[in-house]
Structure 1
Amino acid sequence: MSDTDVAAWAALLRVHTALVPRLDRELQATCGLPLTWYDVLLELNSAPGRRLSMGELGERAVVSRTRVSRVVDQLVAAGLVAREANPDDRRSAFAAITDPGRARLRAAAPVYLEGIHRHFTSRMTARESATVARALEKVLANPPG
């Protein structure tokens, strides 16, 4: 492993640690929506039928698998998500975004996107941003065995 490898990893961790709390604060202050809620709503909104099983949601959301159920419970209590029975597996349920959830997601999207631009992509050229995206997608597409 080279020094460059270690530097890339360390930079990724530092950027994540620095920017996630900033985006969270901005979303909460402006929209009353924690970043964890936004992430879950975003995943549900982009899913087929705008719903996912809890297992699928745990795999897709940035929230840890152990926290996803708690976040969904909070979103259900806020009326932004509904739990639906899974007719194929009585032990599992779907989380589905509600119309109010979609409205809150749409209202928060400009704040989220502007925060990404201001804190992250504005510090790079378009080419650098594309390179970072490709490199990280490559890592996700080829997890270690």
Structure 2
Amino acid sequence: MTEPRWLDATQQLHWRAFVDGNIRLTELLDRDLKSKHGLSLPEYEILVRLSEAPERRLRMAELAANASQSRSRLSHTCSRLESKGLVFRGGCPSDKRGVYAHLTEEGFAALDRAARDHVETVREYFIDVIDPGDLEAIGRAFTAVINRLNAD
């Protein structure tokens, strides 16, 4: 067995800062959306993805991939959104097995309200505290990470 390629002290420091910062920021964003709009961060992300899709609808499989949720988790999340009247699911006319998630007008309005507060929180705790050059580097770095993950 080969020895693991351990992180050096600087790499370990940056890795832990990323893990801690990511967890804490995600928790803050989730708490903020729940308290102000009754939406979890995963619910918000689904509404965003649907709002950006043609006809404000996506097949459930595509939505799961876009929203980084398992199909099972997505199904539960969509059930909660349906009970709130923000999303509805309907069949796919061209594929009897396919199911679409559709953003309702009420869902679009809820997203519009939530997005106004959410962007301020994102700015306050992420965008505005990071130097523009560092923000660009973060974008490049995570594009590389996403590309590596998509290659598998």
Q: TM-score, normalised by structure 1?
A: 0.89
Residues 60, 71 of structure 2: 8 Å contact kept: no
Say yes or no: does 1:48 pair with 2:62.
Answer: no
- State the shift of 1:138 in Å: 2.0
In the other structure, the counterpart of 2:65 is 59
In the other structure, the counterpart of 2:145 is 139
In structure 2, relative to structure 1, the CA distance for the partners of 1:135 and 1:53 (3 Å cut) is same
2:86 to 68, 80, 90: 80
Gaps of 5+ in 1: none
1:126 to 93, 112, 132: 132
Which segments of structure 1 move beyond 6 Å, counting only runs of 4 or more? none
Gaps of 5+ in 2: none
2:102 is paired with a residue whose SS is: strand
Over the aligned positions, Cα root-mean-square deviation in angstroms equals: 1.7
Residues 57, 103 of structure 2: 8 Å contact kept: yes
1:97 aligned partner, one-letter code: L
In the other structure, the counterpart of 2:24 is 18
Higher mean C-alpha displacement, 77-86 vs 118-127: 118-127
Between the two structures, name the one with larger relative contact order (CA 8 Å, sep ≥ 6).
1
Say yes or no: does 1:97 pair with 2:103.
Answer: yes
Q: Distance in 2 between matches of 1:6 and 1:86?
A: 48
Q: Distance in 2 between matches of 1:39 and 1:57?
A: 10
